[in-house]
Amino acid sequence: MTEQSCFLYRTMQLIRVCEEQLARCHARGLIHGACHTYVGEEAIATGVCWRLRPDDAVFSTHRGHGHALAKGMPPFALIAELFGREPGCSHGRGGSMHLFSPEIGMMGASGIVGPCILQAAGAAYSFQLFGGDRVAVAFFGDGAVNNGAFHEGLNMASIWKLPAVFVCENNQFATEVPFQYAAGNPDVASRAAAYGMPGIQVDGNDVLAVAEAAEEAIRRARSGGGPTLLECKTYRTRAHAEGMGDYTYRTREEVAAWRERCPIRRFRAGLITSGEATEAELDAIDAGIREEIRKAGEEAERAHWPRAEAAAAHVYAARSRAHAPEPVVDSSPRPPISLAAATLEALDYEMERNPRIFVLGEGIGARGGNFGTTAGLFAKYGAARLRDTPISERGFTGLACGAAMAGARPVVDFMFIDFLNDAFGEIVNQIAKMQYMSSGRLKMPVLLRGCIGIGHSAATHHSGSYHSIYSHIPGLRVVVPSTPYDAKGLFTHALRCDDPVLFLEPRELMSTKGAVPAEPYEIEFGKARVVREGRQATVAAIGPMVQRAAAAAEALAGEGVSVEVLDPRTVSPLDTPAILASLHKTGRLLIVDEAFGPCGIGAEIAAQAADAGFNDLDAPIRRLNGAFAPTPYSPTLEAAVTPPVDRIVAAIRALIEE
Amino acid sequence: MAIEITVPRLGWSMEEGVFSAWLKRDGEPVRMGEPLFAVESDKVTMDFESLDSGILHIPYDAPQPGDVVAPGQRLGYLLMEGEPAPEAMSIPAARAETVARPGKAPVTPRARRTAGELDVDTAALRGSGKGGRVREIDVREAFARKTEAPPPVESVPVSPLRRTIAARMMRSRENTAPVTLTRRVDATEIVRLRKQWKLRGETPPAYTDIVMKLAAVALQDHPLLAGRWEEDRIVLAQGIHVGIAVDTPHGLLVPVIRDVPALSLEQLAARSRQLIAAAQSRRITAADLEGAVFTITNLGAIGVEAFTPIIQFPETAVLGMGTIRWEVVAEGNGVLATREQMMLSLTFDHRVIDGAPAARFLRTLAALFGSPYAHCGR
């Protein structure tokens, strides 16, 4: 047998035997959650992975056992993961739908349909940026091709000629919904034309046909020829998930007919017919695999459980280095610069020293960004590192996720945080969770930046303040600077830390100027700044409200009222100790945030203060928020939805009178 | 039709009371005559019987135990079987403030913590926060007073009765225009009157009883002094009910003898002995402390000659009796005689009556002193 035949036969059989063993284990109760088997589709993962190297990346689906095994994951790591054991490939954090083994290029299975396409495009982007000839592959089902991620991902891969292969495993059902019903154009391969890339359709149950088409696509990707869409027609012959009924949406006859078209039996017959292998040789391989899987299963059953204490480990990257401290004295005094200029300075400095940083966004290339956030950088670092994007917020956010997984440091410039909400799922389900799901083996240094805040009649799609929503999510850092000095230090830290960061710049403060040291420095997250010291009340103000709170405190100082103003600077992590320390001093706490009140960061601060600071409270905790309404356009309406200085003054006064 | 349950007037002078408790539960059937609720007035707690039958409905905004209530204020309703409750009047806006009472004001957590650290009793503090809420500053100020004060003075706790007396005295001071007139009267005849009882071997009436009897007679000729100022009118008394100031171990109590003109001196004396004994032992009822239209106070036994008694608001006048003693009196023609004399001190509310008519009351009374027998028969 040739090396290829041996790999193809052995891999397909390994997948089959392992899946059947897992199905039995599921019935025995050893698998605690879902179990989606790959039975009937083995030829696709096997044929595609035949020409992939360990340093190529595979992004998989909820039906990912076959991809993991074909990419080289030992069966024991897969089985133990489904058993929920510590030596499992995701250390028990994932199960069937979250298989991670980045060291062999298995970049994760996923419970969400679509993102793997964007992530493969992102990894491909990194590979292209770093040079070399690595390739990223996305496996996805027919269900994913009617998802926006397919459209956005293939389009971006095409315009930037990314080294990616998009493998559609068309098994004809998206869970139980027939693709014939769900697709206006059920010919997936033909859709490639819409994106200007080759689209190839093959019999997904013919491993040689798959291997041949994949080899061609991989070669094209490696050689800079860009992406390929490969549609592999196939059929899953077990239920969508183990334990589910299977004959409400398809017939026993249809399933039985497809079993007859078993890719392994077909390939085996070919090997024997051509004389490449004998029945006995193949039987011996089969017996060996059965023994291997049996042993792996037994070993997995004996494997130890993860320790409960580890349940919340790896949410954030471990700190691995000292940071550049803030300058004690500014060594090079110079005229004040704006907040936007401060972050630009930080970005420029970091891009120069770290070639893995690149920027994605609309108009951030030659134009230099809507707010001048990348002004002058395009000329310096070129198109690959200052990448103008199509208006595909979800797409390029998912792409940034994949790029970070593959080792780059993407900066995504949204202009306005309102646009970032279109990428909510990519941020919350993927970027935020990736470090945890990979048990810390993947780092996710993604910097997502955009403006927040009400003003200039920007109306409701250019004025949101959604920091509270994202501070609710474990795995994210949420930064809201309010001065040029803080913005530079926090931005520099964001570009050097390994966690995903939302950097939310108050738009009304973008052009405010302040003293900023010329040299690079970092401000760690979770360290509040005392804007003004006071004794009678603490005002914790967020982002654009910091200046107003300071103005209110100044006005009250004239009346002999002493107010302490605190700028948390990051809402996740939140500097609770600093807030409590101030409350301990003053006994009163007002939180001023332009964002909506309910479930906001003010509610969180209030809850923490009421809990840990209960005995310090000399008055109820108060919040002052923007109106619970979308932002209106007309200046009179707009002014009515954001807290002005005089209302802050009144709120502080009322608090002191309580 | 829902029947309103309202706060009744506890007595002549009651302007507000404290709601104590419901004696029936919300939704419970109540029969006419059954005890329904209790209200505390200045000195006693009284149970009130239901005037009607029905099912008790206590609205959400009904007074809570401890709330100050005014006569006429709605407490709840009696409903017929199946009758819907009348719509509640209004949303209680500031419950916290209405229930804030001395010693019960809320204390902020910080104030409580500070009080613990400084060993300050927050129950004794008046809060400067909203609704009397005790805040850190109140505790710190109390601590400063405690530590800065010179050696602690000895103090006596204020009893509820003392507090009531204080409040009543202040109410009198703030709400009347008092003037005191004094007049010497000849007490020879009333001394003799008592002696006659003694000679008969009977317990004589107290001087107070005799003076009360005579004053009641005089008041019938000078009804304004038994009237009550009500801003737009002066309400005259329907019966001459006279209070006697009694010095008890607990403090001043003023039991009331009803319809003095209708009582013989013997009956009056018996009644006053009974009431004074009840007051001394504090077994007196609210009814016996209410309804006076005039009050007599006697400091003569302790040697005082004249003083300025304070009006028992809302009465109009109070008569103070001084000590009786022998004095030399010039009787004209250079004859000096010794007579038993007493000073009367009448404090009256100048809003109700002017000085001369008040003086004329004293003149009438002085005349009655000269011939008490017509009114002091047995």
Give me the domains of chain B, ranges plus CATH numbers: 3-92 (2.40.50.100), 97-148 (4.10.320.10), 161-374 (3.30.559.10)
Average pLDDT over residues A381-387: 98
Whether B320 and B309 have beta carbons less than 8 Å apart is answered as yes
Q: Is A201 helix (H, G, I), strand (E, B) or coil?
A: strand
Inform me whether the C-beta atom of residue A3 falls under 8 Å from chain B C-beta atoms. Answer: no
The Cα–Cα gap between B265 and B209 comes to 7
> Token pair for residue A65?
């056992």
- The tens digit of pLDDT for each residue in A395-452 reads 999 999 999 999 999 999 999 999 999 999 999 999 999 999 999 999 999 999 999 9
Predicted confidence at residue A262, as pLDDT, reads: 97
The answer to the question of residue A182 being in a domain is: yes
Average pLDDT over residues B165-171: 90
The answer to the question of residue A258 being in a domain is: yes
Q: Are residues A504 and A564 in the same domain?
A: no
Interchain CB distance below 8 Å, A619 and B135:
yes
Q: For residue A309, list its beta bridge partners.
A: none
Q: Are residues A250 and A381 in the same domain?
A: no
> Is it the case that residue A9 has pLDDT exceeding 50?
yes
> Is it the case that residue B96 has pLDDT exceeding 50?
no
Q: Are residues A375 and A481 in the same domain?
A: yes
- The tens digit of pLDDT for each residue in A288-328 reads 999 999 999 999 999 999 999 999 999 999 876 667 888 77
Average pLDDT over residues A77-90: 97
> Token pair for residue A328?
């004690």
The nearest CA of chain B is from the CA of A584 a distance in Å of: 9
The nearest CA of chain A is from the CA of B136 a distance in Å of: 6
Q: Is B58 helix (H, G, I), strand (E, B) or coil?
A: coil
Predicted confidence at residue A322, as pLDDT, reads: 66
Number of CB atoms found within 10 A of residue A122's CB = 36
- The tens digit of pLDDT for each residue in A343-357 reads 999 999 999 999 999
Interchain CB distance below 8 Å, B129 and A614:
no
**Which residues lie below 8 Å from residue A275, measured CB to CB, with a gap of 6+?**
none
In a mutational test of the A interface, the residue from B107, B110, B134 whose CB has the highest number of chain A CBs within 10 Å is B110
Inform me whether the C-beta atom of residue B280 falls under 8 Å from chain A C-beta atoms. Answer: no
The answer to the question of residue A306 being in a domain is: no
Domain limits for position A617: 529-657
Whether B373 and B223 have beta carbons less than 8 Å apart is answered as no
Q: Are residues A537 and A507 in the same domain?
A: no
Predicted confidence at residue A324, as pLDDT, reads: 81
Question: Which parts of B149-187 fold into alpha helices (H)?
Answer: 160-175
Number of domains in chain A: 3
Task: Give the range among A97-106, A484-493, B277-286 with minimum mean pLDDT.
Answer: B277-286
Inform me whether the C-beta atom of residue B108 falls under 8 Å from chain A C-beta atoms. Answer: yes
Number of CB atoms found within 10 A of residue A129's CB = 20
Average pLDDT along chain B: 86
Number of CB atoms found within 10 A of residue B27's CB = 10
- CB nearest to A615's CB, from B109, B130, B137: B109
Length of chain B: 378
Q: In what order do the strands lie in the sheet with B29-30?
A: B3-6, B74-79, B54-57, B29-30
Provide the strand spans (E) within chain B. Answer: 3-6, 17-22, 29-30, 35-40, 45-49, 54-57, 68-69, 74-79, 178-186, 228-229, 234-235, 242-244, 246-248, 251-253, 256-257, 294-298, 317-321, 325-330, 336-349
Instruction: Return the residue of A nearest to B130 by Cα.
Output: A658
Q: Are residues A167 and A28 in the same domain?
A: yes
Average pLDDT over residues A4-10: 97
Write the CA distances from A430 to A67, A113, A442, A476, B259, integer angstroms.
19, 11, 12, 11, 94
Predicted confidence at residue B91, as pLDDT, reads: 38
Active site residues of B: 350, 354
> Token pair for residue B140?
């710190």
- The tens digit of pLDDT for each residue in B324-347 reads 999 888 887 888 888 899 999 999
Report the share of chain A in percent with pLDDT over 90. 96
Nearest to A477 by CA among A458, A449, A502, A509: A502
> Token pair for residue B253?
């109590």
The Cα–Cα gap between A10 and A627 comes to 64
Which amino acid type is present at position B371?
Answer: S
> Token pair for residue A548?
């107003």
Predicted confidence at residue A320, as pLDDT, reads: 60
Whether B207 and B350 have beta carbons less than 8 Å apart is answered as no
Q: Are residues A349 and A260 in the same domain?
A: no
- The tens digit of pLDDT for each residue in A460-515 reads 999 999 999 999 999 999 999 999 999 999 999 999 999 999 999 999 999 999 99
Nearest to B68 by CA among B47, B98, B94: B98
| CATH code of A606's domain | 3.40.50.920
Q: Are residues A357 and A417 in the same domain?
A: yes
> Is it the case that residue B12 has pLDDT exceeding 70?
no
Residue B104 pLDDT class (50, 70, 90 cuts): low
- The tens digit of pLDDT for each residue in A233-258 reads 999 999 999 988 888 999 999 999 99
Instruction: Return the residue of B nearest to A585 by Cα.
Output: B110
The residue annotated as part of the active site, out of A65, A151, A314, A462, is A462
Predicted confidence at residue B309, as pLDDT, reads: 95
Interchain CB distance below 8 Å, B108 and A614:
no
Instruction: Return the residue of B nearest to A583 by Cα.
Output: B110
> Is it the case that residue A44 has pLDDT exceeding 90?
yes
> Is it the case that residue A20 has pLDDT exceeding 80?
yes
Which amino acid type is present at position A451?
Answer: C
Q: Are residues A534 and A507 in the same domain?
A: no
The answer to the question of residue A441 being in a domain is: yes
- CB nearest to A587's CB, from B130, B133, B136: B136
Whether B188 and B339 have beta carbons less than 8 Å apart is answered as yes
- The tens digit of pLDDT for each residue in A567-584 reads 999 999 999 999 999 999
Average pLDDT over residues B272-293: 89
| CATH code of A132's domain | 3.40.50.970
Predicted confidence at residue B337, as pLDDT, reads: 87
Average pLDDT over residues A638-645: 96
- The tens digit of pLDDT for each residue in A548-560 reads 999 999 999 999 9
Cβ contacts (< 8 Å) between B108 and chain A: which residues? 587, 617-619
Inform me whether the C-beta atom of residue B136 falls under 8 Å from chain A C-beta atoms. Answer: yes
Q: Are residues A479 and A559 in the same domain?
A: no
Q: Are residues A573 and A498 in the same domain?
A: no
> Token pair for residue A517?
């040291």
The answer to the question of residue A331 being in a domain is: no
Inform me whether the C-beta atom of residue B323 falls under 8 Å from chain A C-beta atoms. Answer: no
Interchain CB distance below 8 Å, B129 and A658:
yes
The Cα–Cα gap between A263 and A66 comes to 14
Which amino acid type is present at position A487?
Answer: A
The Cα–Cα gap between A626 and A544 comes to 12
The Cα–Cα gap between B299 and A267 comes to 128
Residue B95 pLDDT class (50, 70, 90 cuts): very low
Provide the strand spans (E) within A522-655. Answer: 529-532, 537-541, 563-567, 570-572, 589-593, 622-625
Predicted confidence at residue A215, as pLDDT, reads: 98
The nearest CA of chain B is from the CA of A614 a distance in Å of: 6
The Cα–Cα gap between A52 and A201 comes to 20
The Cα–Cα gap between B264 and B283 comes to 25
Average pLDDT over residues A24-42: 95
Element (H, E) at A503: strand A501-506
Predicted confidence at residue B82, as pLDDT, reads: 81
End-to-end Cα distance, chain A: 87
The Cα–Cα gap between B149 and B151 comes to 6
- The tens digit of pLDDT for each residue in B64-82 reads 887 888 888 888 889 888 8
The answer to the question of residue A237 being in a domain is: yes
Which amino acid type is present at position A452?
Answer: I
Inform me whether the C-beta atom of residue A498 falls under 8 Å from chain B C-beta atoms. Answer: no
The answer to the question of residue A386 being in a domain is: yes
Measured in degrees and rounded to the nearest 5, phi and psi for residue A295 equal -65, -45
Cβ contacts (< 8 Å) between A614 and chain B: which residues? 109
Cβ contacts (< 8 Å) between B132 and chain A: which residues? none
Task: Output the DSSP codes for A510-556.
Answer: TT-EE---SS-----TT--EEEE--SSEEEEE-TTHHHHHHHHHHHH
> Is it the case that residue B262 has pLDDT exceeding 60?
yes
> Is it the case that residue B38 has pLDDT exceeding 90?
no
Average pLDDT along chain A: 96
Whether A300 and A79 have beta carbons less than 8 Å apart is answered as yes
Whether A631 and A638 have beta carbons less than 8 Å apart is answered as yes
The answer to the question of residue A366 being in a domain is: yes
- In the block, residue with structure tokens 């006053």: B272
> Is it the case that residue A98 has pLDDT exceeding 90?
yes
Q: Are residues A28 and A97 in the same domain?
A: yes
Helix pair A3-28, A75-82: axis angle to 10 deg = 20
The Cα–Cα gap between A480 and A459 comes to 21
Average pLDDT over residues B158-187: 90
> Token pair for residue A392?
């595909």
Number of CB atoms found within 10 A of residue B173's CB = 12
Element (H, E) at A271: helix A263-273
Residue B61 pLDDT class (50, 70, 90 cuts): confident
Nearest to A172 by CA among A99, A285, A251: A251
Predicted confidence at residue B73, as pLDDT, reads: 85
How many residue contacts between A and B have a Cβ separation below 8 Å?
31
Q: Are residues A344 and A385 in the same domain?
A: yes
Predicted confidence at residue B130, as pLDDT, reads: 86
- In the block, residue with structure tokens 């299977």: A246
The Cα–Cα gap between B353 and A496 comes to 93
The Cα–Cα gap between B240 and B236 comes to 10
- Structure ipTM: 0.71
The Cα–Cα gap between A18 and B27 comes to 71
End-to-end Cα distance, chain B: 56
> Token pair for residue B203?
């317990």
- The tens digit of pLDDT for each residue in B293-304 reads 999 999 998 999
Cβ contacts (< 8 Å) between A616 and chain B: which residues? 109-110, 113
Residue at a domain's end among A300, A319, A354: A300
Interchain CB distance below 8 Å, B108 and A617:
yes
> Is it the case that residue B90 has pLDDT exceeding 60?
no
